[in-house]
Chains A and B, each alone.
Chain A
Amino acid sequence: MMPSQTDLTAGTVAQSGGAGGTWRALRHDVGAMLGLGYIALVTLVAVFAPVLTSISGWTPYEFDQSAIDPDLGGMPIGAWGGMGAEHWLGVEPGSGRDIFARIVYGARVSMSIALSATALTTVLGVSLGLVAGYFGGRVDLVVSRVMDFLMAFPALIFMIAVLSALPASNRSGLLVVVISVFGWPYLARIVRGQTMSLAQREFVEAARAAGASGTRIVFREILPNLRSTIIVMATLAVPGYIGTEAGLSFLGVGVVPPAPSWGQMIAASVKWYAVDPAYFVVPGVCLFLLVLSFTVLGDRLRAVVDAQEGR
């Protein structure tokens, strides 16, 4: 993921502030550490996907006709969906493609789409929320009505409609854009509310009295005070986007085949649950753990930050 400008700003300020304390508190939290560990693992797996598949010996697109039984509807040969030394996590029925390779490359899709969408929604949500909250008046009116409109919209149905109508050329990019368009108001709404209350505080008054411009006040005075909110909201948004991407892929409007995606794998495995449960379990468990890890991490992060602010 490309760290956004806002993230960087928040990050630098956070270090000078209570970041060390947050980290210390988190380090003693088993749940948060396990979640972080799994996220790190998936990230590494995604980054080093080509290396891993060269070790395992199968690319995600390679068919292996010797691993499936043509007379049994293309079912994998061997127990647990064909798991073994040749195919570590078994093979896909019908084609014999290596599931390990597809999981590894699928992690790239899941992570890159979810993190890009988070970055984009954070940038959009924070900037629009700040502008609306600080300047108020007509600006606030327009931004707030747009947010109301987007939040009231049946987002999933619209996403399906848009994605199936648009050309399939760059689906990953489209997914990020579509998810972000419907995702930013949730963050913007909270940022707007906090900005409104911060704008009345003494230090903002002081800056204004000292002759600081509106932009300077927003980005130098108010934004640093929102960093913990933003970090927590962003962490909690990632699992939602991972789920949305998987859901859209499950519904057939996600990434274009043959590119692997966890949601797509789960969709394909549903029919095989009775005869090849491993095919369903592998991507299902990977997705479940990733969403759970982000959720737990975000939740613990919020608890720690809240406690610090309460102090």
Chain B
Amino acid sequence: MKLHRISTAVLAAATTLALAACGGAAPDDSSGGGGFTAEPAEGGTVHVLQNADFSYLDPARGWDGGVNNFYRLVYRQLTTSAPGSSENPTEIVPDLAESLGEASDDGLTWTYTLKDGLKFDNGDPITSAEVKFGISRAWDPQIGIGSPYLKQVIDAPKGYEGPYKSGDLPTIETPDAKTVVFHLIKPFPEFDAVLSQVNATPFPVDSGAGDEFIHELIASGPYKLAEYVPGSTIKLTRNENWDPATDEVRAAKPDGWEFTIGLDPATIGERLIAGQGADVNAIAGNIQPATLPRLQTPQLKERVLEFPGICTTYMGLNTTKKPLDDVRVRQAISYAIDRTTIVNASGGTQLGAPSTTILPASVAGHKDFDLYPSQDGTGDVEAAKKLLDEAGLSDGFTMTLDIRAQESMQAQAEAVQQALERVGITVELNLIDTSTYYETIGTPSQQHDAAITGWCPDWASSAATFIPPLFDGRNIYEKGNGNLAQINDPEINERIDEIGAMTDIDAANVQWGDLDEQILELAPIVPLMVAKGVTLPGENVTGLFSSANAATGGIDYVGVGLKDPEKG
């Protein structure tokens, strides 16, 4: 599950062509704007051009930047992220529920009340039973492979395996048709955010067993599935049973959506630049670095939309390997790294910004600091050499860097190689096939000295989904390990528990920022950069706002619409 998340993160961060590329949380429409923020008109069809197919239509299975945003058009949960156009888009707001949850004094019991007039696309009402059923699907060993938070936070009987195998989940109570009561394993102040995860979607009781939702879906959101050709197209039409009065998040102005899948990234770029026919109504993910120089003409420049990133690309240093077990060696690497070359190798300043912190600036809790400063971010060779001398490694050493056999990551790895050679560290690149990369580096017995990967928050309103998965020493698994550095520091573990238990999220975020600095003093990872989003929407599209939570920093689909529905 962690693996799942990392793959997404880096797919988005590194390929720069994944659908929901890492953009930003900032509500401003950023540079270039050119009227992408105007209120869309009713009607028309929005086209989305993308390379990769959606992982799953079933939200209990799918959980990645590419598909979460799509789920938001067809599925609803008790709570969800505020729309990208709101003042604070990382905020969690009520969706099916009338208000955010009410916690008991001990923080272990959370109560939600459903709104009136909620229906599935087949006309059946959505009641507490359906909410409970949908959530309990997360425990199914075959289906519940998506977001892990429900299972980690909600109490369940030992050995519970979902509604199809184990039946009713007794720890979620439904005293009446409108009330849902959750019992937690331990207090979790951000429980509202947990329920906004895509796998908390309600489904009619007893539906969705096995592979039922592989090619079809039961919609609770403003759109339903009209046509699905795997690997090719997905068409959505209006769900007549969705009542706009119950939904403050989704504007849902267009009459339909059409996703064209399997296009080559270069083709997407060409089509968006040409903007012919129905492509005036098209949006897509990040453009390729090679396309950037072509966007400098005034007509195209006006259409460019930029977002700050929310995903950190970093190099994990395996603290169990010699000589990386020596903190001075890791610090030396942190000093020697040249972030300018890494950013340039990843497409330059428009597609990335150097990062010296674990938390990106757009994630709540970010604290600005640079523990290993250097002039222009090109690395401090002297300081690095001094630390290596102290560690008795004046002659340098050789280490192996795991990288994905994928162009932009290879370019980053080559930049790392060049930077570290200046201090006598020889970096050997170990190319791993894209399909097995995350599995390999997530298996401590197979990972080498270092690896380049990335991480995106599951909700950007706090650092609770950023720091614990990567640095909690009790989360080192034999498979699917997210703590690549394999750092197990009692002080860090203790701080993670303390901050995680804080009920004042704002105060907790300040502490996460401090913990970020505390962790980097041990240099278990070297933050490299935060990939930015640059997209080129069609000229007839509007209502484009980024959402860190719902769209992994890309365009939040719920507000998108057309200026003139008759065009294209």
Contact = CB atoms under 8 A, between A and B. Distances in A.
B431 interface: yes
B413 A72 contact: no
B340 interface: yes
Range of interface residues on A (Cβ < 8 Å): 20 to 34
Given A94-B411, A268-B407, A73 B348 contact: yes
Contacts of B431: 168, 256-257
Contact of A95 (B291, B344, B349, B351): B344
Interface string B411-447: 1011101100000000001110100000000000000
Contact of B290 (A96, A164, A256, A274): A274
Contacts of A257: 410, 413-414, 429, 431
Interface string A48-90: 0000000000000111010011111111000000000000000
A86 B405 CA distance: 31
B507 interface: no
B266 interface: yes
A272 interface: yes
Interface stretch (B30-38, B81-89, B153-161, B292-300): B292-300
Contacts of B345: 74, 94-95
A137 interface: no
A275 interface: yes
B289 interface: yes
B341 interface: yes
Interface string A220-242: 00000000000000000000000
Nearest to B378: A65
B347 interface: yes
Contacts of B346: 94
A109 to B, nearest CB: 16
A95 B410 contact: no
Contacts of A208: none
B363 to A, nearest CB: 24
A72 B348 contact: yes
A239 to B, nearest CB: 27
Given A65-B340, A95-B345, A257-B429, A72 B407 contact: no
Contact of A93 (B290, B415, B417): B290
A70 B418 contact: no
Contact of B289 (A74, A96, A164, A252): A74
B196 to A, nearest CB: 35
B542 to A, nearest CB: 26
Interface in A84-106: 93-96
B413 A73 contact: no
A65 B341 contact: yes
Contact of B414 (A68, A258, A276): A258
B433 A94 contact: no
B343 interface: yes
Range of interface residues on B (Cβ < 8 Å): 20 to 34
B111 interface: no
A24 to B, nearest CB: 50
A75 B294 CA distance: 11
A257 B343 CA distance: 18
Contacts of A252: 405
Contacts of B171: none
A275 B296 CA distance: 11
Interface string B506-525: 00000000000000000000
Contact of B418 (A63, A71, A272): A63
Interface in A146-167: 164, 167
Nearest to B287: A73
B288 interface: yes
B350 interface: yes
A71 to B, nearest CB: 5
10 contacts: A73-B289, A73-B347, A75-B292, A94-B346, A95-B341, A95-B344, A168-B430, A168-B431, A257-B413, A274-B294
Given A61-B414, A274-B294, 5 more contacts: A63-B415, A65-B341, A70-B340, A72-B293, A256-B431
Ordered nearest first, which 3 A-B pairs have the shortest CB separation?
A: A73-B292, A73-B289, A271-B290
